[in-house]
Amino acid sequence: MAEEVLLIGTWGSPFSGRIEVALKLKGVQYKYVEEDMANKSPVLLQYNPVHKKIPVLVHNGKPIAESQVILEYIDETWQDYPILPKDPHERAIARFWAKLIDEKCYPASFRACWGADQKEHEKAVEEVNEQLQFLEDELNEKRFFGGEEIGFVDIVGNVIAFWLGGLEEASGAVVMAREKFPKLCNWANEFVRQSVIKESLPARDKLIAYFRNRFGAGTSK
C-alpha cells in the first residue's frame, strides 16, 4: 500500500516547521497543506477537535497532533535517521530539554519581547536567560544537542535557533545576547545553515513583518 502522509501546517509556525524537518531527515514523502488559522478548515477541526491547532500529521488516514508527539511518532514509524538517541537515559535527557524549551523558554521569550510592561519584560528576560544558560551548558562543546547530527532537541530548539531572533528583531528586545551565550549562538548559526533546515524555514523578513503586525512594538522600545 502506498503511504499517505499529509502535514497540515502554517508557513510561519516553528511547530509545523519541526515536522517538515523530521520528515525530510527521514526521507519520507509527504503532502503539505497550508492552513488558514483565521478561517480554520473543516479538515483541521475534524483531525484536531481538541486544540484546533496545527500541526497535524495524518498518516494513512490517522491523525496525530502536538509537535513533540508527532516527532516521537515519526521516529517510531520510520527508522532511517533516528531523531532520539537509543539509550533510555539519553532519551530522557533529550525529552527533558525539549519540554523546557516548549513549556518555559519559548513562552517566556514572548513575554520578554512583548511583556505588559517593563517589569514583566525584565523578569522574563531574566527567566529566559537562566534557561538559556542551562542549555548553553548542556550543549557545551557539541556541534548539535544531538551530537554530530541534528536530533530531537535541535529540531524542537528551532524556536531558539531561528524564531527567537525574529521575535527579538520584531520587538527590539535582546534576549539571547551573543556575549552571554556564544555556544548557543554558534549552534543556532550552524543549525540554520543545514540545507534541510534552511529549506524548511520561512523568509525572515516575512516572519518579522508578521510578528510586528500581530504583536505591535516591543515592550523595551
Q: Which residues lie near a second copy (CB under 8 A)? A: 49-50, 59, 62, 64-66, 69-70, 72-73, 76-77, 88-89, 91-93, 95-96, 99-100, 103, 131, 134
Looking at the Cβ atoms of 93 and 192, the one nearer to a second copy is 93
Using the minimum distance from each CB to a second copy, give the nearer residue, 45 or 203. Answer: 45
The one-letter amino acid code at 86 reads K
Q: Are strands 31-34 and 56-59 parallel, antiparallel or unpaired?
A: unpaired
Q: Is the peptide bond before 14 cis (omega within 30 degrees of 0)?
A: no
Shorter beta-carbon distance to a second copy: residue 24 or 95: 95
Which residue number, 9 or 165, has a Cβ lying nearer to a second copy? 9
| Interatomic CA distance for residues 26 and 38, integer angstroms | 31
Give me the least distance between CB of 93 and a second copy, in Å please. 8
Phi, psi at 7, each rounded to 5°:
-115, 125
Min dist. Cβ of residue 51 to a second copy (A):
8
**Least distance in angstroms from the C-beta of 5 to a second copy:** 13
What is the maximum alpha-carbon separation in the chain?
A: 57
Hey, is 180 helix, strand or coil?
Answer: coil
